[in-house]
Structure 1
């Protein structure tokens, strides 16, 4: 007993110091947030129906979307929101496939809908900006063409606006489609599903309550028309146009941006690690761009209380010591540090992360009460809580690479693929090894 006490307490001081980073920055705040959400769920706010439902405009940017567009339009048609109060604008930004034929087929099939198509310049931001000028609704709702709306999503979104006049913009909740996961599920895809569920139904709930939502989802977001038309519209020069719009409304216009947790939009699951790599680097580049744009608005007297600074510390600053910690584990083995001691430190942190994931798991189950099918599917995937810490760690490495690439390469919509960068790193290591060997032989 004395041996294990000595090993875990007196000889783990170095590693416990490193462990304070994830414990203080991630684990403890996550536990506190989870408890807050569970308390809030005991008495959820009730929504009242307005005397007259408003007109809404649903904008869909389209680019080579022939495989998914019809299902997307059908989900709008099948919505519980009155069809005579829905205007749908497809903004085709230079598709080269048969997206127009899909639109024509949908127009004939759903003849009771106000459905139109416009042609725009290439790019999602350009497409949305052009569609905004043709929108006639009191509320503007943007959705991507490769997903489908839950039948009550539009109604729930509008009711949230009508019951809280302080809210100028809302983001919906995004989840990968469970039907596709059942057919073509993989470990990566199930982890992505849990990540989305916990991000929107746990993390963003707290951000929304504090009016600190960092970004509205580009796949599903909504605005009061008067608010979005007073903005600078979507920035066509950034790959984080959804984040930029969030900051415009909250930082520049001093309006409230929130989350409508019970408005769901279902997307296609991630294909593979390469797509995850490109997607998360793009998100990270967009985040860095927007933070750089709005950093001059920070006030030094409340510097560390600012949510943007806190986001920087977690997503950027603390990524570096986390990576150093990982590399140090290998190096210190050569300095005769006890592998048992190091292994136990990792196990302790892993178990703490599991605790956080379980708390988030319970929170999500509570927030899925009114969606029994989704709740049943989510509940059966409890085992993902055991693998999610590893998935999150992989995503953090990708984010770190995204930060480095954003500082060293020109920003574009797509970064280099994982296989391309892997080959480049292998080539550099191989050349360095040859150079060092040649120098040793001299």
Structure 2
């Protein structure tokens, strides 16, 4: 009996090592590095000339959110006479233009321009880039709002780091909208925690090591000189933000970094279906960009020298393993594994991921010192950490589906939602069962 327990626990222990290597180790590194770094709660104007900025806002049926977005730019603490806003409309069919005109009337201290562009976010951005002026170009989504000092903090960061050609800001779900949620409030809190951890516990370390994989398409900033040397946004991929990051890293051989105290607040996810489609789109964009830039340079021998290899292992291989063993546990009992032992093993897995979650929680709390209000909100919802292992497992499943759909639907840009794919799979299973019954009947 003892030998059987040792053998079975040894089998499960092997799979506990995988998350320990790929998720626990980075969390520990981030914990020690973040807690030995100093975070300034205030950002001062950098000596010398304040640069002129162009803020590009791509618009598609943004009537419900555009006003608040433009208001957040106009009410930022950056000198208003140095801000130009270009609203790049890509074939909206709602009242976005009327909302823009109202904002233009209300915020006369900021220059605003409406620009008609071809359909598609990348095309709209490219059209607006040619019309941009000044030292830096910012791109933000129309369904979110900037923190008051986001533009200033990024501009100061550019001045402090002349070697940096592009920056990404911190993306957080708007907690006011989460508070007012009538449905899916827990899902939205989990997404909020996920974003906070991804940016303030993950990308802070990646930025210090010059290992930013992708800038956020929701909020990024560029030196205009570098942007004009690039190939602009790729209109043939759903991952145009990742493609631009790779252009700067591998074509221009320049550096990309995170500005953690420049926050952009996005609308919380609406439901599980939207999350399913969103994560599949992100996964597809990642694969498309990797194929374009690094398909011939990826090798497991470079796992320690090339952070892209490690990133792909986490996003693909580890995600596959998580999902495979989630379903495998249901067939282990017929093979002689003790149900109690399986439950104990799953509990150990959960506790390990929970430990990783609390390490990340402390990392985020450390970095949010620059924003006491946001820090208090994050701290008050510490209990969400207990839900995150399950949430992350579900997201891993969505990633796996994204990889599979990218391979099976390479020519299709539109991603089906979870309900549509579930119904399609159910239909196929029913047809296979009927076909199997007919075959068995003939054999009999």
How high is the TM-score relative to the length of structure 2?
0.95
Instruction: Please give the alpha-carbon distance, in whole angstroms, between the structure 1 residues aligned to 2:295 and 2:424.
Output: 36
1:217 aligns with 2:216: yes
* Residue correspondences, number: 439
1:85-104 deviation per Cα after TM superposition (whole angstroms, max 9, x unaligned): 00100001111111111111
Instruction: Please give the alpha-carbon distance, in whole angstroms, between the structure 1 residues aligned to 2:41 and 2:22.
Output: 28
Instruction: Please give the alpha-carbon distance, in whole angstroms, between the structure 2 residues aligned to 1:351 and 1:43.
Output: 34
Where do 1:288-437 residues align within 5 Å? 288-296=287-295, 298=297, 303-304=302-303, 305-437=305-437
Instruction: Please give the alpha-carbon distance, in whole angstroms, between the structure 2 residues aligned to 1:361 and 1:26.
Output: 14
Instruction: Please give the alpha-carbon distance, in whole angstroms, between the structure 2 residues aligned to 1:438 and 1:169.
Output: 62
Q: 181-190 or 21-30: which moved more?
A: 21-30
SS of alignment partner, residue 136 of structure 1: coil
Partner of residue 248, structure 1: 247
Q: 1:267 to 1:45 in 2, by over 3 A?
A: closer
Q: CA deviation at 1:222?
A: 0.2
Q: 408-417 or 218-227: which moved more?
A: 408-417
Instruction: Please give the alpha-carbon distance, in whole angstroms, between the structure 2 residues aligned to 1:365 and 1:422.
Output: 39
Q: Is the 8 A contact 1:56 1:136 kept in 2?
A: yes
1:203-229 deviation per Cα after TM superposition (whole angstroms, max 9, x unaligned): 111111111111000000000000010
Q: Is the 8 A contact 1:27 1:356 kept in 2?
A: yes
1:51-70 deviation per Cα after TM superposition (whole angstroms, max 9, x unaligned): 22110000000111010000
Where do 1:39-50 residues align within 5 Å? 39-41=36-38, 49-50=46-47
Partner of residue 261, structure 1: 260
SS of alignment partner, residue 280 of structure 2: helix
Instruction: Please give the alpha-carbon distance, in whole angstroms, between the structure 1 residues aligned to 2:319 and 2:345.
Output: 18
Q: Is the 8 A contact 1:278 1:414 kept in 2?
A: no
Instruction: Please give the alpha-carbon distance, in whole angstroms, between the structure 2 residues aligned to 1:372 and 1:45.
Output: 11
Instruction: Please give the alpha-carbon distance, in whole angstroms, between the structure 1 residues aligned to 2:64 and 2:321.
Output: 43
Q: Is the 8 A contact 2:39 2:370 kept in 1?
A: no
87, 95, 99: which is aligned to 2:96?
99
1:283 aligns with 2:282: yes
1:182-203 deviation per Cα after TM superposition (whole angstroms, max 9, x unaligned): 1106111110000000001011
Instruction: Please give the alpha-carbon distance, in whole angstroms, between the structure 1 residues aligned to 2:376 and 2:413.
Output: 37
Q: 363-372 or 189-198: which moved more?
A: 363-372
Q: Is the 8 A contact 1:41 1:367 kept in 2?
A: no
Where do 1:69-84 residues align within 5 Å? 69-84=66-81
Q: CA deviation at 1:297?
A: 5.7
5, 23, 27: which is aligned to 2:24?
27
Q: 1:9 to 1:27 in 2, by over 3 A?
A: farther
1:141 aligns with 2:157: no
Instruction: Please give the alpha-carbon distance, in whole angstroms, between the structure 1 residues aligned to 2:307 and 2:416.
Output: 30
**Structure 1 unaligned blocks of 5 or more:** none
Instruction: Please give the alpha-carbon distance, in whole angstroms, between the structure 2 residues aligned to 1:412 and 1:67.
Output: 29
Partner of residue 54, structure 1: 51
SS of alignment partner, residue 40 of structure 1: coil
Partner of residue 87, structure 2: 90
1:272-318 deviation per Cα after TM superposition (whole angstroms, max 9, x unaligned): 00000010000000000001111246276962221111111111122
Where do 1:228-239 residues align within 5 Å? 228-239=227-238
Q: CA deviation at 1:50?
A: 2.4
RMSD: 1.9
Q: 198-207 or 305-314: which moved more?
A: 305-314
